[in-house]
A and B are shown apart, each in its own frame.
Chain A
Amino acid sequence: MVRVEFLGPIQKEPLNIEANTLSDVAKILSQDEELKEWIATSAVAVNDTLVSSLDISLKDGDKISLLPPVCGG
């Protein structure tokens, strides 16, 4: 079981899902219509490190974060 957290303006409670890779996470999240736009524009972090590949193995307890477009300052 991994935990998916939605940061900033994505108004969604965290999800606990079964996933072995980020591709599995992508497939599960893509079934949620209200997440479609956020998925297309968000960066992804695994255990607080930004990642750039879907071929990442996940283990029990991992945290996946979605980071939508930013604007600090």
Chain B
Amino acid sequence: MLELYNGALDVPAILKRWYEEESPNNYGAYIPFVGTVRAEDGIEGLSFDIYEPILQSWFSAWEQKANNKGAKVVMAHSIGDVMVHESSYIAAVFSPKRRVALELIDEYVEDFKASAPIWKYDIIDGLRVYAKERSTQIKGSGLLGVIQ
């Protein structure tokens, strides 16, 4: 389940709904990770662009990987502006026993940061400034520059 929302996430409602949806499915562990916008460097908030077709492919591959371990992954992410102290990202893993979920949540969130086609901007004086220094090149980047 990949959920995209315009603006900040309603974290309590999403976590509650996922909990209730999966409770009958005999998962013994539910581990959510919630990303919240911190007040730093004078930003008013963050803003996000998402390229959905490739995000969906990335997420489908993770669904399959989790399924192979008897687990389930879900995520929610914001599109557009999310102000300081609001949340823009939730990732969660359900698994029959804790060990698989504890290990998967780490890998799942880190791979998301490295590979998911989402671009972050600081909101400063109401303007969006690309967070270039905090961004990561997707594996295989620079392919078109090889020929020069």
Contact = CB atoms under 8 A, between A and B. Distances in A.
A26 B142 contact: no
Contact of A8 (B51, B109, B136): B51
Interface in B53-105: 53-54, 57, 77, 88-89
- The B interface is mostly helix, strand or loop, or mixed, namely mixed
Give the contact-size bracket for chain B.
35 or more
B121 interface: yes
Nearest to A66: B144
A54 interface: yes
B43 interface: no
A26 B54 contact: no
A2 to B, nearest CB: 13
Interface of B: 35, 48-51, 53-54, 57, 77, 88-89, 109, 112-121, 130-132, 134-148
18 contacts: A7-B51, A8-B119, A23-B147, A26-B146, A27-B147, A39-B148, A40-B145, A41-B141, A42-B141, A42-B144, A43-B137, A43-B141, A44-B140, A48-B54, A68-B135, A70-B115, A71-B118, A73-B35
